[in-house]
Chains A and B, each alone.
Chain A
């Protein structure tokens, strides 16, 4: 997938190696985390409350300095980005960082002056479609409207890497649908890299082609959504049976849950086209199950 702004390349948009990060007087939030985001990937970041998703996204953008490891954006150290690289990044934080004394029109004019490209037609279209008053002080907008404005600001300069931290948290179902349509219709067509955290799993099923599950300060698993739904199964049996089955299927156990009487439940990812033997107790899993088991 290519775009005038973003020629196709296999150079990762973002790359984290061995990133460890702790808050002052706090425990480690990120523990030797490795992560790679490739051009054109749309990644949904999943994790329990307090798992460190926001910290990870902030570290990814250079807003937090890790105690160990490296973070690179478009091949540059995230702490030392040049202007050209900054212009390729869009960010919607979890909490509004809009200058609330401005009106939306003033805020957008303000940021327009800093970016070398700015899609005014898209901005105008979104302001109209999302019904945001141009000349009302931002502090008087509702939480949902502020969130939409924040999204418009992040999309306006057509970034190649879009980082969204719970972008739909304040939006009603209609607003979420509009936002996701925008994400699919505008951003994906340009081949941008998108990473967003959310708790609304149904939204992920609509747009996220890749899921990254965060647990214990690391990315526990990242894989395309369709593959996960197709290949991950929950098996139940004795410990011995499970060990034999995993070896026979060449499956990758993701989580083991001990049950009574020497039995266990194993969540495992099967190789493509693997066939489960007849008579084995196996369940398909959905996104809710994956979230509950892997985070």
Chain B
């Protein structure tokens, strides 16, 4: 019996299991790659132009390998590993084949970019290591953290490790091919070790990873998973759970059905679910604390000045701040899709507004969160702008206004199931518009105040029209019932 069909089955699974509901992400990435290659050929000098498609090919090869590796690991189900004949063995061999192909392709492409004589053994070694590392990062996401720690660690331990490094370099010089072969064999062993043959530990790990995969898939589809869904980090979320419980008790203790604010505060806990403002504030707070800590560690260990970091990374930081502060606001209405079963019950509760009043109350909830996020983000951008001497970062705040006017005034009764495309499109639009405003101000000399005026002139009537339309729409809840 030939085993070719089973290899084609496991290797093609990544393509067969692709998300058919939102193909646009893949198409956009493909279009961007083609466009940048064409643009490079047109505008870059001839000696540099041919490198663009080569670099893109490297990115594609590595990206494809990561997708295949992640899928192979997903196929490594403990039950199948134990009960399906040859399943785990086939996966290991397929992974080895993929790793070898990726290594060879990456080496050839890198060699084409840097055709220095005698460099190929180093390229082969590095590309083999990179391919194995990428496979393992799909199993252990935290390995990516190592890349951040490499610089401070090498500074901290560089001196004490220098003799070992020199000895390795000497060994490489004297026995290049033997060392290369040994390293490649070790990398191949690492690839095989990523797969397991069933058993209790494999089951526990697979269950954790399945939970993580589901959480990530839910996020892509706009369904914020519960905090404890991030299984490995569950103990870290316990303080969050206590704070959220305290807030719930606070709201319930002050329940008053004659006050719209009280009614909507209770409804909001269900309607915004995992994207409730308190959860969002807690999450952002933790991320901000982690970033500050990381910066402190890196700056103190490397001796790099903050001014230098701000000078070179200020714009990137601005985009990061704006993404964290504004993007979640664009997607809040999608949360209504997740609680639509509970919404029928909510509708029956005493004090719950109906019809137009409900539509408006719900939109106000979305806008309250967005405006709070927008004000805080704008303040941070102004502060960052002052620090780096570039107030054009405010283009980010301006660009958010028309996007919010569009996304926060959708009619909930007519909404459809959120897809990955629906989730990321506002962010793409937001960044594209911000980029346009930035280029207008920086390269064409359009004053920032004029940019702001035009943005407001577009956003205000758009919001007024959409708000009237939303208020007159069928009762918002249950969401999606008329789609």
Contacts and interface: CB of A to CB of B under 8 A. Distances in A.
Contacts of A106: 16
Q: Which of A79, A81, A99, A116 has the most CB of B within 10 A?
A: A99
Contact of A63 (B6, B20, B90, B198): B198
The majority secondary structure among interface residues of chain B is helix
Given A62-B198, A97-B77, A102-B16, A114 B83 contact: no
Interface in A63-118: 63-65, 79, 81, 83-84, 86-87, 89, 91, 93, 97, 99, 101-103, 106, 109-111, 113-116
Contacts of B77: 97, 99
Interface string B380-414: 00000000000000000000000000000000000
B83 A111 contact: no
B20 A113 contact: no
B264 to A, nearest CB: 34
Contact of B79 (A81, A91, A101, A137): A91
Q: Which of B5, B8, B85, B200 has the most CB of A within 10 A?
A: B85
A142 B82 CA distance: 27
Contact of A114 (B13, B74, B90): B90
Nearest to A62: B82
B156 interface: no
A120 B20 CA distance: 27
Contact of B82 (A81, A87, A102, A103): A81
A61 B83 contact: yes
B196 to A, nearest CB: 12
Contacts of A137: 20
B1 interface: yes
A99 B71 CA distance: 10
B97 to A, nearest CB: 16
Contact of B18 (A79, A91, A101): A101
A137 B17 CA distance: 9
Interface string B14-30: 00111110000000000
A93 B79 contact: yes
A211 B5 CA distance: 41
B5 A97 contact: no
B9 A87 contact: no
Q: Which of B9, B83, B84, B199 has the most CB of A within 10 A?
A: B83
B87 interface: yes
Nearest to A86: B85
Interface residues of A, number: 28
A84 B85 contact: yes
Interface in A130-151: 137
Contact of A61 (B20, B74, B82): B82
Contact of B75 (A63, A81, A99, A113): A99
Contacts of B273: none
Nearest to B84: A114
B86 A114 contact: yes
Contacts of A87: 85
B82 A63 contact: yes
B1 A99 contact: no
Contacts of A102: 13, 16-17
B208 interface: no
B75 to A, nearest CB: 7
A114 B199 contact: no
Contacts of B18: 101
Nearest to B71: A101
B203 interface: yes
Interface string B417-446: 000000000000000000000000000000
Interface string B181-200: 00000000000000000111
Q: Which of A81, A101, A106, A113 has the most CB of B within 10 A?
A: A113
A60 to B, nearest CB: 11
A93 B83 CA distance: 12
A93 B207 CA distance: 14
A2 B423 CA distance: 58
A86 B13 contact: no
Nearest to B6: A113
B80 interface: yes
A103 B16 CA distance: 8
A99 B210 CA distance: 11
Given A63-B78, A87-B85, A89-B83, A99 B9 contact: no
Contacts of A86: 82-85
Nearest to B87: A114
Nearest to B3: A113
A125 B130 CA distance: 48
Contacts of B6: 113-114
Contacts of B83: 61, 86, 89, 91
A79 B197 CA distance: 10
A86 B90 CA distance: 15
A279 B422 CA distance: 78
Contacts of B9: 109-110, 113
Interface in B271-308: none
A97 B80 contact: yes
Contacts of A113: 5-6, 8-9
B20 to A, nearest CB: 7
Contact of B86 (A63, A83, A93, A97): A83
A116 B1 CA distance: 8
Nearest to A79: B199
Interface string A21-38: 000000000000000000
Interface string B86-119: 1100100000000000000000000000000000
A93 B203 CA distance: 13
A150 to B, nearest CB: 11
A101 B220 CA distance: 15
A111 B75 CA distance: 11
Contacts of B78: 63
Contacts of B200: 64-65
Nearest to A116: B1
B86 A101 contact: no
Nearest to B206: A97
A111 B20 CA distance: 22
A111 B82 contact: no
Contacts of B17: 99, 101-102
A63 B203 contact: yes
Contacts of A115: 84-85
A111 B6 CA distance: 8
Interface string B53-79: 000000000000000000000110111
8 closest cross-chain pairs (CB), A and B: A101-B17, A83-B85, A113-B6, A113-B5, A86-B85, A113-B9, A87-B85, A110-B9
15 contacts: A63-B78, A63-B79, A63-B198, A65-B200, A83-B86, A86-B83, A87-B85, A97-B79, A99-B75, A101-B13, A102-B13, A111-B84, A113-B8, A114-B90, A115-B85
Given A63-B198, A97-B79, A101-B19, 17 more contacts: A64-B200, A64-B203, A65-B199, A86-B85, A89-B83, A91-B79, A91-B83, A93-B79, A97-B77, A99-B77, A102-B13, A103-B16, A110-B13, A111-B84, A114-B85, A114-B86, A115-B85
